[in-house]
Amino acid sequence: MRETICFLSLVLLISACGQTRSKADNKEISEQTNTSADTNKHSQELEKLSKLDSIDKANNESVAASGDNITKAFVLLNKGDSTINLTSNIRRDHRIFGYAKTDINSERLLILSVFTNDVENNPFGCKLGAYYDTGGMDELTLKYIATTGNFIKAIAIDKTNKPSTIYFEKKWIEFD
């Protein structure tokens, strides 16, 4: 009988050893999982940035190659209206960012582009959106305010009449 009890205790001990983990073991596994998730998330962010950089580079090169055969936005000042309009032309490139400051390295608030990969799903995360032209901006109106150096100061007015200041490079705007 004593041998049976020893044998059963040994079997129970062996099976229990593989079944339980200490709190320290569970914490280590959790940290490894979190580290792996963080690494994976970081890799995905780098991949997204790399994709955005390649879109940015390719589309900028296409616009540059177009030379003067590009579409620009118009401000109609002679009729007392300062609305900024841009009608997309599939045969002419345009890629116009609206910035938070008079600096092309500042936050990009809006993009008007002929390129689908610039517009669909707003890949650059522009707060005011990504559009092919101003006709597609159902909830925004762009109004010219002033010229500031190499930039045009404008306001983007949403459907609740909330204005947001935005700057466009002057080279993309013509006055009529």
CA nearest neighbour of 133 among 77, 88, 78: 88
The predicted structure's pLDDT at residue 132: 94
Whether 35 is covered by a domain: the verdict is no
User: Which domain, by its residues, includes 131?
Assistant: 69-175
Whether 171 is covered by a domain: the verdict is yes
Whether 103 is covered by a domain: the verdict is yes
Whether 22 is covered by a domain: the verdict is no
* Predicted confidence (pLDDT) per residue in 122-161, tens digit: 999 999 999 999 999 988 999 999 999 999 999 999 999 9
Whether 145 is covered by a domain: the verdict is yes
* Predicted confidence (pLDDT) per residue in 116-130, tens digit: 999 999 999 999 999
CA nearest neighbour of 107 among 89, 126, 86, 132: 126
* Predicted confidence (pLDDT) per residue in 63-89, tens digit: 677 776 667 666 766 566 788 888 888
Where are any strands of DSSP class E within the chain?
73-75, 84-85, 95-99, 108-113, 129-131, 140-148, 151-158, 163-169, 173-175
Whether 14 is covered by a domain: the verdict is no
Tell me which amino acid residue 159 is: K
Whether 32 is covered by a domain: the verdict is no
Residue 45 is encoded by which pair of tokens? 């962010």
What is the model's pTM?
A: 0.67
**How many domains is the chain partitioned into structurally?**
1
Whether 50 is covered by a domain: the verdict is no
Residue 24 is encoded by which pair of tokens? 């320290």
